[in-house]
Chains A and B, each alone.
Chain A
């Protein structure tokens, strides 16, 4: 294993120190327990937004703390949910009297730890709502699984709910907007090479040089199928078809298209994916009204990408376009 680190045990902490040094006016990093909190938190009268989960997906969630997005992010160990204590502390830190929204990716560990923290926060008199994000169409959602996983669609939930909170919507409204996004966002990913997990120093799965895995999660969980590599247009069709079929997205829909890098894929290739996806959607008269391309919900150094589509309304467009200032997303301010 070759990685830029001091010690796998201090990796998350050292990275947080770097984040704090880069954005002193935007956020602060607290040490006990480890949290990233918006510099001016708690904002009086504003709904506080808290997200979190295992580390290794940066900039999700720590890079989205700031104006117009998250008020706090709780980073757990690599690929492991944080415990309820820091989630509770984050909830207290951002509670400005208007309640707190927990945005939680649908993984058993995250769900349970946020649930315990929400119970404890409510016992202290803080109004907490929880939104579970489960946008990954690769997983069959049935009573026979833990349900769909939360992946890159989480970024869109955090941005749009964050804008709603920033304009002064109350907790019930912000939660409803966030749930509306969850209902209308779908994602699917592909891996070209597995991530190497710092603690073990080993790839999290084995993939031959000429193989790709379609439907991969963001922790190296298995996908739908393993196939030989093929040119990008074929791969993009394999990702978009199940996304479009699932909601379903139909012709004349306005959509936001997010092409998300998994951590080890160059922006040049992601731009090619965006071009291919744009063409595929245009051929079906699905109108791409907004785009975002870059590495936002990563899986350490995994090579590959995910594609996310969100059905847009005028309100969602306005909230998407609203000013945001975070480490990883910033415009309009």
Chain B
């Protein structure tokens, strides 16, 4: 199987936009429980804009597509999620560089760079009940899969699986960052909306790779 191309990146954005739109109300409800309720709406606005930007097909490498996504999300999402996801895609684009295709290790490195960007911008650590709790296990799973010689699609499937588990595992946590941190113990029992949307985005990345 060949490496992942700019078409994969475009498909990722398309599937991510569809997934965010489908789960918009659900993300909003998670956010209303422990935040301010606008996460689904903000991400939907951002990925709709990102899809429009990348669909013209001018960006010829995965890195170029991801960079376009980054700047669009930073300009359109707002809230905390805009700078966080924007930085994640920007760092992923930098990791992808100007390569035409990405192999398994390159995909794992791209995800690690994205996670590092989120940590740098949000100053959150694993266990703070944030999107880092989806990204960190995803990065570890991707690295393990890539080290075992897995194809890019398999690396992404492993990342998506781990992100989903990581998002679910935020439910018993007390939040230490973001608006949910004001709730103290009252945040316990609620899934972090940022971790939930991160799992959706990584699932879309895997689906885009699997369909090629």
Contacts and interface: CB of A to CB of B under 8 A. Distances in A.
**A and B: real partners?**
yes
A146 interface: yes
B19 interface: no
Given A144-B176, A145-B176, A80 B38 contact: yes
Given A83-B75, A85-B75, A200-B37, A112 B80 contact: yes
Contacts of A144: 174, 176, 181
A221 B182 contact: yes
Interface residues of A, number: 31
Contact of B80 (A81, A219, A220, A222): A81
Majority SS at the chain B contact face: helix
Interface string B20-57: 00000000000000001110011000000000000000
Contacts of A83: 74-78, 82
B186 interface: yes
A115 interface: yes
Contacts of B179: 107-108, 146, 219, 221
A81 B182 contact: no
Contacts of B86: 116
B36 A79 contact: yes
A320 B19 CA distance: 52
Interface in B140-184: 174, 176-179, 181-183
A82 interface: yes
Interface size class on chain B is 20 to 34
Contacts of A220: 36
Contacts of A85: 74-75
A238 B69 CA distance: 48
Contacts of B174: 144
Interface in B71-102: 74-84, 86-87
B83 A146 contact: no
B178 A146 contact: yes
A81 B79 contact: yes
A116 B80 contact: no
A113 B182 contact: no
A199 B41 contact: yes
B79 A139 contact: no
B126 interface: no
Contacts of B84: 112
A82 B78 contact: yes
A149 interface: yes
Contacts of A112: 80, 82-84, 121-122
A323 interface: no
Contacts of A145: 176, 181-182
A286 to B, nearest CB: 28
8 contacts: A77-B38, A84-B75, A85-B74, A112-B80, A116-B83, A146-B179, A220-B36, A222-B186
Given A85-B75, A116-B74, A146-B182, 16 more contacts: A76-B78, A79-B38, A80-B36, A83-B74, A83-B75, A83-B76, A84-B74, A84-B82, A112-B83, A112-B121, A113-B83, A139-B182, A146-B179, A197-B37, A199-B38, A221-B179
Interface of B: 36-38, 41-42, 74-84, 86-87, 121-122, 174, 176-179, 181-183, 186
